[in-house]
Structure 1
Amino acid sequence: MIKWADEQIARGIRLSYGVNRVLSQASTPHQELTLIENDQFGRVLLLDGVTQVATADEFIYHEMLAHVPLFAHGEARDVLIIGGGDCGLAEEVLRHEGVRRVFQVELDAAVVDAARRHLGAINAPVFSDQRFHLKIDDGVRFVDGLDERFDVVLVDSTDPIGPGARLFSAEFYRAIQRCLRPRGVLAVQAGMPFLQRTGFATTVANLSSVFQRSGCYLLASPSYVGGHLSLGWGSDSLRIDSVALDVLEGRIARSGLNLRYYSAAIHRAAFVLPPYIAQLLPSRSVDQSTPQAPATASA
């Protein structure tokens, strides 16, 4: 019986979860899947020994990856999700009544199956929502052949190792750029700048090399050990970092959503970067040190 599940956070750093119960453990064609119960974090999904989602704090990551681009856009109708097999992100996106379609592409069917069986607390509404469409496929291959257009694309991927590595490349971001509408925006998981400095810097540099406007924003989630977790973004016209506070507040109020982490103030503050992170952004990238507040919001 497993008593502890270990995650190698970075060189010289290891996190151990006490295991109350093993809910699922399997070797899929793509990765090692482990789903456990823990006193503090609830149900925890690990892939290749790396934490993907914990039911106790998943709302932090999912709200920030979903609502920052969606409320910045203001009129998103069609959303594409690459990855996100636990379907917690899709659940958050589908809370926006104006979204008419969420198309999700996940590489590993076993992740979706395990999540559907054991993570209903974060994804149950998804599978009965007619706006949700799931395709099991390689995200890079899928986007390469895509001729549809989306308002928002969200990449909820593992770290840039193994099957997730190509989802951080400039080539992949260019393929996404081609399937975005004129005001479209991409948001991606970009790692922990303190412990994953090289991977973070490469991700934001790749975004900057493709999009006219790009950068990152931050969140703090207990199960992602190592300081701030960053989310990267790119758009050729939309400044998601400079939507006026009153515009965001109005959109949130009209949505009727009861959110636990995201707010208009958090949206604005998330783009203020500590100098040690800001200095890792390429010079071409949008200046993230102080978010701008134009009289007329660029949204």
Structure 2
Amino acid sequence: MTDWVHEALHRDYAQSLRVDEVLYDSETAHQRLRVFTNGTFGRVLTLDDVVQTTEGDNFIYHEMMTHVPILAHGAARRVLIIGGGDGGMAREVLRHASIDHVTMVEIDAGVVDFSKQYLPMLSQGAFDDPRLRLVIDDGAAFLRTTTDRFDVIVVDSTDPIGPGEVLFTDTFYGHAKRALTKDGILVTQNGVPFMQGDELTNTMRAFKALFGDWGCYLATIPTYAGGPMAFGWGTDGQGRAVPLDTLADRFASAGIETGYYTPEVHKAAFALPFYVRRLMP
């Protein structure tokens, strides 16, 4: 199957994507980075054959990690993105005219340059927005030393393997909590709980100790295999209790167009099936 990419992230489950055309393929002693086109998903970025993002379905992931906390907060002005070098997360945050400043901390400048060249449809000009401050640094180191405070922090991490592992520690979450404003909201990427339950449990254990309101919400992203993805949620504010009609008003006032997010989906995403509830500490 030379015209297919076989992803084997999970021990007992795998998915495959057809490769129509290879646009970039670089293999080092440490990893293999590829961009190829697929008839359904458009341009696909893989790292060691594990899908990182696609042109076709990235909107689900990026919308749910940004619009949920921003609209739940209701008065967010300053946002921090840890990771997100492809620019998709910044794209969605900056759709909100109410956001005054976005700091994006990406460990590898090459990821940003690469994404601008091969995946420009993800950032859609976000890197040129004057409200965006791009910091090339380790996200954990940045949070450990920053004196800035943020209304929303979005941790757009890879899986907890290699460089991404530090972004799943209790210490990291503690530093993130310190960098939040009084009613600030932290959201994190926490994998597919059906396949990666320990990842969610470990994060929720840390959130339970840190936040008055903690938990997760779900969204289904086709190329993140194995079921719906979980996003960690932590705040000492009232963000999750915001009623549907208030969310609808805020969404209408924002004047943004979405492909997945709606106020109704926002509220429903926090309704967890029992197999996910059982992962909570």
TM range (shorter): over 0.9
CA drift at 1:55: 0.8
Tell me the amino acid that sits aligned with residue 273 of structure 2: P
Structure 1: gaps (5+ residues): 283-299
SS at match of 1:207: helix
Partner of 1:46: 46
Structure 2: gaps (5+ residues): none
Partner of 2:63: 63
Partner of 2:157: 157
Partner of 2:213: 213
Count of residue pairs the alignment pairs up = 281
Cα 1:66–1:29, aligned 2, differ >3 Å: closer, same or farther? farther
Q: Please list the CA deviations of residues 31-71 of structure 1 after superposition, one character each: whole Å capped at 9, or x if unmatched.
A: 43221111111111112332111110111111000000000
Cα 1:28–1:233, aligned 2, differ >3 Å: closer, same or farther? farther
Partner of 1:241: 240
SS at match of 2:97: coil
- When normalised by structure 2's length, the TM-score is 0.96
Cα contact 1:33–1:111 (8 A) shared by 2: no
Once residues 14 and 276 of structure 1 are traced to their aligned partners in structure 2, the CA distance between those partners, rounded to angstroms, is: 21
Once residues 239 and 204 of structure 1 are traced to their aligned partners in structure 2, the CA distance between those partners, rounded to angstroms, is: 18
Cα 1:206–1:32, aligned 2, differ >3 Å: closer, same or farther? farther
Partner of 1:176: 176
Tell me the amino acid that sits aligned with residue 266 of structure 1: V
Supply the RMSD in Å over aligned alpha carbons: 1.6
CA drift at 1:118: 1.6
Partner of 1:297: none
Partner of 2:228: 228
Tell me the amino acid that sits aligned with residue 102 of structure 2: V
Sequence identity (%): 46
Tell me the amino acid that sits aligned with residue 267 of structure 2: R
Once residues 53 and 161 of structure 2 are traced to their aligned partners in structure 1, the CA distance between those partners, rounded to angstroms, is: 17
Once residues 14 and 118 of structure 1 are traced to their aligned partners in structure 2, the CA distance between those partners, rounded to angstroms, is: 26
Cα 1:273–1:14, aligned 2, differ >3 Å: closer, same or farther? same
- When normalised by structure 1's length, the TM-score is 0.90
Cα contact 1:24–1:114 (8 A) shared by 2: no
Once residues 228 and 16 of structure 1 are traced to their aligned partners in structure 2, the CA distance between those partners, rounded to angstroms, is: 18
CA drift at 1:8: 1.2
Tell me the amino acid that sits aligned with residue 217 of structure 1: Y
SS at match of 2:70: helix
